[in-house]
Amino acid sequence: MTTVQIDIVSDIACPWCAIGYARLEKAMEALKDEMDFAVEWHAFELNPDPSGDGEPILPALSRKYGRSEDEMRANQAQMIEIATELGLNFEKLQQRYTRNTFDAHRLVKWAGEQGKQTEMKMAFFEAYFGRAENISDPDVLIHCVEAIGLDGQQAREVLASDRYADAVRQDEAQYQQAGVSAVPAFIINRKYLVSGAQEPETLTKAFREIAEAA
């Protein structure tokens, strides 16, 4: 069996990151008899400003991309369709607010030490896209922590400290320096970059080519 290391640079506030991982899961499932996959998540912040109370997502996206709110609504509706087909809950995608995800990234690092990094990430995606919850609110984060069977009190202590802050900043700096400016980005075997939420077939083909080259 070939072992494939996948480092995923992503943000919890990025819908394509959730879609990209769901597609990756399909590719990994298709190749499970040929390859062993090791997945590690790395931080990226689409909204690095921790101040303020966030703003409704549609006007925020409209301003960011210089397109109308109606265009953004149509774009998000298309995303909901894609996500639903992949079994993701994107029900409240259009009702969410912009949020800073720094503390959530710290808890992903913490959960990783307990072998639950991916579960933590999925719980945060579900809270934000499925329920439009405030994922910069400690109570929301703790609820997600407990939902995947981790210790809420321990997580509260992490949030009250600055633990994992350096690890998150290091991630962000490292991948920005490596040229990652958009997410999701998948770094395969610490060598090959696959950008964006690619279809499962594209990923399967890429993994086979990389394995052959190795």
pLDDT tens digit string along 11-38?
999 999 999 999 999 999 999 999 999 9
Whether 1 shows a pLDDT value over 90: the answer reads: no
pLDDT tens digit string along 83-117?
999 999 999 999 999 999 999 999 999 999 999 99
**Sign of the C-alpha dihedral computed for residues 196, 143, 141 and 145 taken in this order:** negative
Contact 1, 34 (CB under 8 A): yes
pTM for the structure as a whole: 0.97
Whether 162 shows a pLDDT value over 90: the answer reads: yes
pLDDT band at 202 (very low <50, low <70, confident <90, very high): very high
Fold of domain 2-213:
Glutaredoxin (3.40.30)
Q: Which of 48-52, 64-68, 70-74, 131-135 has the weakest average pLDDT?
A: 48-52
pLDDT band at 52 (very low <50, low <70, confident <90, very high): confident
- Mean pLDDT (the chain) is 97
Reduced to 3 states, what is the DSSP secondary structure of residue 141? helix
Mean pLDDT in residue range 170-193: 96
Cα 196 to Cα 36: distance, rounded to the nearest angstrom: 22
Cα 163 to Cα 166: distance, rounded to the nearest angstrom: 7
Whether 161 shows a pLDDT value over 90: the answer reads: yes
Q: Percentage of residues in the chain with pLDDT exceeding 70? A: 100
Would you state the pLDDT for residue 146?
Answer: 98
Residue-range domain boundaries for the chain = 2-213
Cα 26 to Cα 116: distance, rounded to the nearest angstrom: 19
Contact 185, 193 (CB under 8 A): yes
Q: Amino acid letter at 18?
A: A
Would you state the pLDDT for residue 50?
Answer: 86
